Structure 1
Amino acid sequence: MSLTTFIRSIRSAVQRDLLKMSSSELIAELERERDRRVLSIQSHVVHGYAGNKCSVFPLQLHGFEVDFINSVQFSNHAGYEHVKGQKLTEKELEELYEGLTLNNINNYTHVLTGYCGNVTFLQKIADVVKDLKKKNGNTTFVCDPVMGDNGRYYTPKELMPVYRDLIIPLADVLTPNAFELGELTGSPIETEEDCLRAVNELHAKGVKTVVVTSGVTGAQTNESLRCYASVKGSHVYRFTFPRLVGQFVGTGDTFTSLLVVWLDELNGDVSEAVKRVLASMQCLIRKTSSYAQLQVDTNSRAMCELRLIQSRKDLLWPPTCDQIQVEKIGQ
């Protein structure tokens, strides 16, 4: 399917959804209050989108309260020629969390973690999660084990054993890409069979829900990509969706934040939750890609930043997308 044909199909689907969605329904969704509060520990950029800059807005848009701690604070993401900023230390994280604890305001329904730049900081995150789960056994820990992609690390390799030995046993939901999945389980992930075997290993370590977001090379084509979702003791789902033009920073962070929303909204129905996340992501990436293509003559990284604000309707109300195929492939 050509990109033009796909765009037309998406536009038709959006138009159908708009006809179904009355203004009163949209207002009701925007006004709906949720008794949900997320502690999000991720990176932050002043300009553009990565880490918390991608995650906080979608969560707030859906009515989640979000307290966020920035593991790093940079001027911009690493795709630019120059990056300036600061890194939070494990001692500073401990002080921030101590302040929350002393005031008895460390009350969270969810903890969300993403990029972390050093081992001791990640170890301190484990301490924070343990304490929150001790206080409230129903707190859901959603972890994106950010280490690398496409066969290479862009964080210190020393993070991997900490994720494997400390973080994974605490996680309720884990969202690795194929490279990270392979590193965590000790075997490369090239085929669907590799992926499913490794997912079962994570379940055996206690992770209830695993979503493999991308990168299973043997299962994708030039036209389509796949991700996989599995719930321990239940079903495994394969999602096939169109490959769009461009690779953009922050898509994984946005994906995971929306997953928090829809798993909560749908009481853990991972099949429908991931489908809705993918529908929003397809719209976001398509809008970003179209804008970047129009601005290609400027040759600027600033033109490739996610069109997150411009996609707010699609983040809040995922359109019907017939191009996303969901298959139950195992148990």
Structure 2
Amino acid sequence: MDNIVSIQSHVAYGYVGNRAAVFPLQRLGYDVTAINTVQFSNHTGYGQFTGEVFSPEHVADVFAGMAELTGLAGVRALLTGYMGDQRSGEVMLDALARIRQARPGALYCCDPVMGDTGRGFFVREGIPEWMRELSVPAADIVTPNQFELSWLAGREITTRADALAAAADLRALGPRVVLMTSMAVEDTAADRIAMLVDTAQGSWRVSTPRIDFATAPNGAGDFTTAVFLAGCLADGLGEDGPARALARTAAAVEILFAATRDAGTRELALIPAQDEITAALRGPVPAHIEIERLR
């Protein structure tokens, strides 16, 4: 069975980090090895939480024990998200080196979690620079939001052309696929949510109807990155494989958002919507999802 190693945060209640990534990947048939960088009672969006951040030494020790037991030969991909500090990042890159030594073709999917529009940066000082200089260049797939892509590429993004140029700049650092998980530019319809995927073979924008919440749920980016990685593993990184992966990802996100809104909760409704999500990720793209080739 194909294995994905996911190094991310963990919460006892709710769905962010590994809690948002592992379950949908398992439903798609992947054996996921989850290594947790923190264990909190709930995500920090509630304002109050308990738990602790694990030391880089703890994370490295857990990975080393798992690697010694399994040999890592079955690992098809490494998935990483929020990084507490640079030492944690070094542990992730060491894990990547060991995975690729055991299986040279293994992919690295990096979600460069750093900040967001309206909030600015919410990570420790030095993390953004470390991401740009070391983590992003090592990755095959990167999944920044618009704020993160703008900073990583060093250019403002207000137009479609800006977004394409920024994605190309990021690919020039090393990644083969750039997924921009939020795209709000001059020609983005107000009633749509758009994402962009950019590769050497082309660029595609996918949009779905906007779903409004009383309180927006956390963890959507973690879910999006995980299922997009699964799509890339299934369809490959060449030709229009990433475009197909993004279209199905968008369909799954729409289903998840609708279920979350209908449940009236600020936690992603992963469990109630699991069957519909899995069907969307395995089936044809719904006709109402707009796929536009930009180049």
Q: Please state which band the TM-score falls in when normalised by the shorter chain.
A: over 0.9
Write the distance in 1 (CA, Å) between the matches of 2:67 and 2:14: 32
1:104 deviates by: 4.5
1:67 deviates by: 0.4
Partner SS for 1:103: helix
Corresponding residue of 2:12: 46
Residue among 255, 260, 263 paired with 2:229:
260
Does residue 121 of structure 1 match 2:74? no
Alignment of structure 1 residues 168-317 onto 2, 5 Å: 168-232=136-200, 234-246=201-213, 247-268=216-237, 269-292=241-264, 303-317=265-279
Corresponding residue of 1:101: 67
Write the distance in 2 (CA, Å) between the matches of 1:160 and 1:219: 29
CA RMSD of aligned residues (A): 1.5
Range 210-219 or range 271-280, more displaced = 210-219
TM-score, length of structure 2 as denominator length? 0.92
Write the distance in 1 (CA, Å) between the matches of 2:149 and 2:187: 15
Partner SS for 1:308: coil
Give the residue type in structure 2 aligned to 1:305.
E
Tell me, yes or no, if the aligned pair for 2:178 and 2:198 is still in contact at 8 Å. yes
Tell me, yes or no, if the aligned pair for 1:109 and 1:138 is still in contact at 8 Å. yes
Tell me, yes or no, if the aligned pair for 1:195 and 1:216 is still in contact at 8 Å. no
**Aligned residues: percent identity?**
30
Query: Higher helix share goes to which structure?
Result: 1
Write the distance in 2 (CA, Å) between the matches of 1:240 and 1:285: 14
Tell me, yes or no, if the aligned pair for 1:219 and 1:226 is still in contact at 8 Å. no
Partner SS for 1:41: strand
Tell me, yes or no, if the aligned pair for 1:283 and 1:314 is still in contact at 8 Å. yes
Q: Deviations over 1:240-279 (max 9, x none)?
A: 2211112211111111111122112223311111111111
Structure 2: where are the runs of 5+ without partners? Answer: none
Write the distance in 1 (CA, Å) between the matches of 2:279 and 2:70: 34
Corresponding residue of 2:105: 138
Give the residue type in structure 1 aligned to 2:36.
N
Tell me, yes or no, if the aligned pair for 2:183 and 2:196 is still in contact at 8 Å. no
Give the residue type in structure 2 aligned to 1:277.
T
Rg (Cα) greater in structure = 1
Aligned length: 285
1:97 deviates by: 2.1
Range 168-177 or range 216-225, more displaced = 216-225
